[in-house]
Amino acid sequence: MNAPHHDPDYNFAYLDEQTKRMIRRAILKGIAVPGYQVPFASREMPMPYGWGTGGVQVTAACLVPEDRLKVIDQGADDTTNAVSIRRFFQRTAGVEATEKTTEASVIQTRHRIPETPLTEGQILVYQVPIPEPLRFLEPRESETRRMHALADYGLMHVKLYEDIARHGAIATSYAYPVEVEGRYVMDPSPIPKFDNPKLGGNPAIQLFGAGREQRIYALPPYTAVRSLDFEDYPFEPSKANHDCDLCGASGSYLDEVITDDQGSRMFVCSDTDYCETRRNAGHRGRLSPEEAR
Amino acid sequence: MSTHLTGGFTDAPTQSARAFRTVLEALARPGQIGTLAGATPPAPLSPAAGALLLTLADQTTPVYLAPLHDTAEIRGWITFHTGAPFVTPEEAVFALGHWAELPLSRLSAGTAEYPDRAASVIVETDALAPANARLTGPGIATQTTARLPETAFFQSNRSLFPLGLDFYFTCGDQVLGLPRSTRVEAL
């Protein structure tokens, strides 16, 4: 096989073997206790905290030379963060890169779940800024740890209730908290709540890495995940009430783009691979160029 | 040459990466059997158990060996290739042996605040088939089956959740994972 080789100045996938073993043990404990945040000794990475150092370490511990890696940032393959992480692993692990969700074996993501359904054999790695769903309600780690130990999540329900009292609806629109297998309340990372229904029952392995906060957690395939809500205020995934202006998709999560200073705007799929695949298949939206129609 | 110097990974970074992916898939999909190759440890340690230790054990992970596996050759091999210290069951991060010999009640099941501090148990078995137990839970779409040494222990282990022991059953170069989250019934 003529697989591209990694830069010999680095160990395979950048991290040293002892670090990878430590991360791998944390990932396995995360799989064994879905939704529980496993502490790990996060390393300095050659990128700043906030750029996905947790996700990068999890990806480095999972990659094999045969992998095809896809990296997305808010659904897009072509943003600075996605491009630099992809290049990092092309150089240090010698893996092939792809932009196609269906061709990728490992997908590292910042704040989106791809629109195309994932399959068995795929791993989705999330970059997580604040892994603790209770952190903005209770700043002390010693207290939040005890609350998780006792499954004492009343504070989170009070917060959601206060949303309803103040705004008439649960106003949380991203990083919407979920309950995993009836036990741990988990922060799904800042994905839009539109993506929450894809967390549960997913055939792929989902891994979450928070580098600065030194936590790893996981959802095994087909795990039961429930977005927190109330009987009279059920959870509602939401998106902009438009179709994609480029591919016409009505069921995908949309970005709003301001196109001039006269108030014109357009809505486009945030998942660039999904949008492009649809356009290549002949789908057209409101603002598609004339010659393409 | 002494046997404990040989039988490790020849290309540790890529072989342990592939082995980890097999272990990850095995634990994330209970009941699914994976192949763990690349290690040739001294008997009676199986190649799969050897590869598991090479992939996950090091100086920071104390190992407990049950009597039949507590031989000078196996101790020497594990020490040379991983550096893991040998300890009593209470202190073990990894415990290894045959089902009947493992002191399961003495192994750590973790604490309420740190359930990740539970031991992982590598159980050497003679066969991973035919199935005698039905499995449900995370990692399993509807239900699946596996061959387990018994069912009662795994039911009481599940009742401790989120505490509990996590298991890897090894046979030759095959591995089957059973995390604490899995519900087990006799077939």
ipTM score? 0.98
Q: Best of B15, B24, B168 to disrupt the A interface by mutation (most A CBs within 10 Å)?
A: B24
First-residue to last-residue Cα distance in chain A:
42
Tokens of A114: 């791809």
What DSSP designation does B94 have? E
Per cent of chain B over pLDDT 90 is 96
Per cent of chain B over pLDDT 70 is 99
Choice between B171 and A289, residue whose per-residue pLDDT is larger? B171
Cα-based distances in Å from A176 to A52, A127, A173: 20, 15, 6
Cα-based distances in Å from A93 to A52, A85, A252: 17, 12, 33
Judged by CB atoms closer than 8 Å, whether chains meet at B61 and A25 is answered as: yes
Report yes or no: A13 and A89 within 8 Å, Cβ to Cβ.
yes
Nearest to A38 among B58, B116, B141 (CB): B116
Supply the CATH number for residue B167's domain. Answer: 3.40.50.11310
User: Residue B39 and residue B173: Cα distance in Å, rounded?
Assistant: 9
Band (pLDDT 50/70/90 cuts) for residue B2 is low
Which residues form the domain of B55?
Answer: 3-186
Rounded average pLDDT over B12-22: 97
Judged by CB atoms closer than 8 Å, whether chains meet at B138 and A223 is answered as: yes
Nearest to B113 among A21, A26, A145 (CB): A145
Question: How many separate domains does chain B show?
Answer: 1
> Tens-digit pLDDT profile for chain A (293 aa)?
444 589 999 999 999 999 999 999 999 999 999 999 999 999 999 998 889 999 999 999 999 999 999 999 999 999 999 999 999 999 999 999 999 999 999 999 999 999 999 999 999 999 999 999 999 999 999 999 999 999 999 999 999 999 999 999 998 999 999 999 999 999 999 999 999 999 999 999 999 999 999 999 999 999 999 999 999 999 999 888 999 999 999 999 999 999 999 999 999 999 999 999 999 999 999 998 766 55
Report yes or no: B122 and B170 within 8 Å, Cβ to Cβ.
yes
Catalytic residue among A52, A75, A94, A275: A275
Phi, psi of B41 (to 5 degrees): -80, 165
User: Residue A78 and residue A272: Cα distance in Å, rounded?
Assistant: 8
Report yes or no: A63 and A20 within 8 Å, Cβ to Cβ.
no
- Angle, CA of A142, A189 and A56, to the nearest 5°: 95
Rounded to a whole number of angstroms, the distance from the CA of B159 to the nearest CA of chain A is: 13
Q: Best of A33, A186, A215 to disrupt the B interface by mutation (most B CBs within 10 Å)?
A: A33
* Residue (of A161, A153, A158, A221) closest to A187 by Cα position: A153
Rounded to a whole number of angstroms, the distance from the CA of A222 to the nearest CA of chain B is: 5
Rounded average pLDDT over B125-136: 96
Whether A244 is a known active-site residue: answer yes
Strand (E) or helix (H) holding B173: none
Tokens of A32: 């064994």
Alpha helices in chain B (DSSP H): 12-28, 47-56, 72-82, 152-159
Judged by CB atoms closer than 8 Å, whether chains meet at A149 and B112 is answered as: yes
Rounded to a whole number of angstroms, the distance from the CA of A166 to the nearest CA of chain B is: 34
Judged by CB atoms closer than 8 Å, whether chains meet at B181 and A32 is answered as: yes
Q: Which chain B positions have a beta carbon within 8 Å of A13's beta carbon?
A: 13, 17
Say what the pLDDT of residue A198 is: 97
Whether A62 is a known active-site residue: answer no
Identity of residue A137 = L
Identity of residue B116 = D
Rounded average pLDDT over B12-39: 97
